[in-house]
Amino acid sequence: MKKLVLIASCLSLASSGFDSSLAGEENDDIVIADFEGKTYGDWKVEGTAFGTGPAKGRLPRQMRVSGFKGEGLVNSFLGGDRPIGKLTSPEFVIERDYIRFLIGGGGYPGKTCMNLLIDGAVVLSATGPNTQPGGSERLDWETWDVRKYRGQKAVIEIVDQASSGWGHINVDHIVQSNTPAEKRPSVTMPRRPGEPLRLVNAQEIKITGKYLIFPVSNKGERGRMTVVVDGQLVQNLDCNFPPDKDAIDWWSYLNMEEYIGKTAEVVAEAPAGIRKMISSSARIPHLQPLYDEALRPQFRFSQMRGWNNDPNGMVYYDGLYHLFWQCNPAGRQWANMYWGHATSTDMVHWTEQDRALRPFGDQVTNRHPSMAVKNCFSGSANVDLYNTAGWQKGDKPTLVLAFTDTGCGEALAYSTDGGKTFTYYKGNPVIRHTGRDPKLVWYEPGRHWVIAVFDEDPKLGRSIAFYTSKNLREWELASKLPGYFECPELFQLPIDGDPGKAKWVVFAADARYAIGEFDGKQFIPDHKGKHRLHWGAYYASQCFSNSPDGRVVQIGWARVDIPNMPFNQTFTVPATLTLRTTEDGIRMFANPIKELEQLRKANPKGVENRPLTAASPTVTFDVRDQLLDIVVRLRPGTASKAVLRFGASRVTYDFAREQLDGTPLKPADGRVTFRVLVDRPLYEVFGGNGACHNTAARTDMGQAIGTVSLTAEGGSLTVESLTVYEMRSIWKR
């Protein structure tokens, strides 16, 4: 403990001109600078690149900076790469065999570097690793051997004289020591295409099972994990590694089945003890009962591990519904963006499959030859029924994914084995523009493909761009529809069930929609503005393509934080969309698919034609579980509100305002109807037989509900019917 106190004292004094000859015994380290103060102390500052004091990590517009010690470091990215400057230390005496330090950033000798000067001459110099696009802002250890300079006076200068890409330098924790620094595991991406990856202290793991497993902490710091097999990059992602084994919250995995029998080189920015726990395995460890964790949705799909956001690639193919989605397998927050994949025969019971697409990141220029893209952000799927692209093998049509390769454009991947594996099209990107999230549609009247994609037009602003193609490979811009943000959707629906009166519908991530005509190239709205159906924690929905029965079924991202679980976020229940004629015009309706009713348990509880009055304003039912399907039909009286309570959560209809939980809903035929689907972390409300839809987190997430009640406030009403169905889990058959 005494030694720790002495070193800590030196940390604060060294950066203030402390005489290092007083810093303890010969074997003690002498800290020249730790850059933990508000200013640089006695260091001389020139130019504008370094500011007036150490940075606290990354600076604006900079990638994540990692590998430094404590909270501060030298970071000359202040204002970007253009500013220049220099930091010069006070003079000191070299009293140890080595000077070791952390360094990162630009790799330009003499321009982005740290120099050791004796008698005004540079005798040793070091730079960061980066000169080309890509690369990491990670600092790593370097060591200068200064044995021949012992006893001499020296000065250190940190230089930024570069203004182009990677024109900055990162430095931290400069120490005199009799022990050289051990370089941490690291990977340096090639400076030129075709050069090999340079690995330092990589861990070799024999792939004996399907999975490469690794521990995750919900509060851990991000560290990059890079996996190389046969000199080729096969996985590259940020992971939330725990600081030690006691901080492990869950285990995640990467699919390595295609590399069984080979040896992987793994570089992980994690503590040594955690790196040793990364291993090959035939199974995935579970610290909680899988699919029965305390907050696991029980009749909505959620992925096994990690974060999810946008549903992607929703398509029916050869007897199965395929659901893909944006996922981060290595943490509970948005990052990495793989494509998860699950299949179902009924859109209710889902089986999670191997992840379909994986990113390689902007840091990569050396990757598996079959990987023609860097990123795989949101997109869609369809079936090439007529083999327009020529990729079909055998009798079964090709399954095609369209997605955004961020920074490059829209890209394609295809499967000839029913979605088990996907091949990236070598001609990617097929559309180059500034935007994202392609929706792939087959336009039968014109016998051609359409991609509706979010586009950032400098004149129109945010819009949906419509591109057309005969063969999926070559695309032409047909038109643009202004006023829409990301995740566009395009489909056709009959009005009131009459195919002869069909209309097209467009919407984007917020699901505010327009109805109109589409001729395969241009969408013409029938009305001004947009209509709204969806409310609450609902975003980025998509509909299944190639539906076997003509239904248009939609699933949205339920943006509900699910704390302290090995997964986060979930999806809404599948809902069938229809167009109906109302007193306000043609409107879209959403109702839960009929297949969900198979989850209802026998012997529901309920009442019919029950008046609620001031003397008896409430009807109550006891329930045993958290999984409920509650169907309500009310006839207004003098009551100002009707309040449905389930546990600590509530749904309220305001008769005067004609609103259901704040969403517009007029009575129909003199009645107010709504349906509430309650799950462990959230619930959804469908009002007026699908006229409005609201998604919300439960107030008492994961807690026993106990009772369901309906109360008339401020007067009377009649409960024409109230039925409470307890529901079965989709995970327990």
CA neighbor of 534 nearest in space, from 526, 542, 546, 524: 542
Residue 337 has a pLDDT of 92
CA neighbor of 451 nearest in space, from 419, 403, 498: 403
Q: How many CB atoms lie within 10 A of CB 86?
A: 18
**65-66 and 137-138 beta bridge pairing:** parallel
Domain with CATH 2.115.10.20 in the chain: 306-594
Calculate the dihedral angle through the C-alpha atoms of 450, 451, 454, 460, rounding to the nearest 10 degrees. -40
Residue 733 has a pLDDT of 63
Q: Measured between alpha carbons, how far is residue 320 from residues 116, 323, 342, 362, 417 in Å?
A: 66, 10, 10, 34, 13
348-398 per-position pLDDT tens digit: 999 999 999 998 754 433 444 445 567 899 999 999 999 999 999 999 999
Phi and psi for 376 in degrees, rounded to 5?
Answer: -140, 75
448-479 per-position pLDDT tens digit: 999 999 999 888 899 999 999 999 999 999 99
Q: Give the chain's end-to-end CA distance (angstroms, integer).
A: 58
Runs of H (alpha helix) within 239-312: 272-275
Question: One-letter amino acid identity for 722?
Answer: L
The CATH architecture that domain 600-726 belongs to is Sandwich (2.60)
Is the CATH number 3.40.47.10 carried by domain 306-594? no
Given the structure tokens 């060294």, which residue do they identify? 14
Judge contact between 479 and 522, C-beta under 8 A.
yes
The DSSP secondary-structure symbol of 454 reads: E
Residue 20 has a pLDDT of 39
Q: Is 669 a catalytic residue?
A: no
Dist. CA 693–CA 687, nearest whole Å? 6
CA neighbor of 355 nearest in space, from 267, 286, 422, 406: 422
Question: One-letter amino acid identity for 508?
Answer: A
- Computed over its alpha carbons, how large is the radius of gyration of the chain? 30
Residue 15 has a pLDDT of 37
CA neighbor of 570 nearest in space, from 227, 263, 323: 323
Dist. CA 451–CA 436, nearest whole Å? 11
Q: Measured between alpha carbons, how far is residue 445 from residues 384, 388, 449, 519, 521 in Å?
A: 16, 15, 11, 8, 11
The DSSP secondary-structure symbol of 596 reads: G
* Lookup: tokens for 68: 């430094």
Dist. CA 118–CA 108, nearest whole Å? 22
170-183 per-position pLDDT tens digit: 999 999 999 999 87
Question: Which residues lie across from 632 on neighbouring strands?
Answer: 674, 722
Calculate the dihedral angle through the C-alpha atoms of 512, 515, 519, 521, rounding to the nearest 10 degrees. -20
- Which residues, given as ranges, of the chain have pLDDT below 70? 1-26, 133-135, 188-195, 361-373, 733
3-state secondary structure of 272: helix
Residue 137 has a pLDDT of 87
CA neighbor of 236 nearest in space, from 371, 62, 102: 371
Phi and psi for 245 in degrees, rounded to 5?
Answer: -65, -25
Dist. CA 339–CA 154, nearest whole Å? 54
Residue 574 has a pLDDT of 98
Strands of the 659-660 sheet, one edge to the other: 618-622, 707-713, 641-646, 649-654, 659-660, 663-664
CA neighbor of 269 nearest in space, from 183, 359, 186: 186
Dist. CA 221–CA 725, nearest whole Å? 44
The DSSP secondary-structure symbol of 197 reads: P
Given the structure tokens 């989850």, which residue do they identify? 599
The DSSP secondary-structure symbol of 390 reads: S
Which is the catalytic residue, given 81, 310, 384, 679? 310
Question: Residue 2 belongs to what H/E stretch?
Answer: helix 2-14
Question: One-letter amino acid identity for 672?
Answer: V
Residue 3 has a pLDDT of 32
Fold of 2-183: Jelly Rolls (2.60.120)
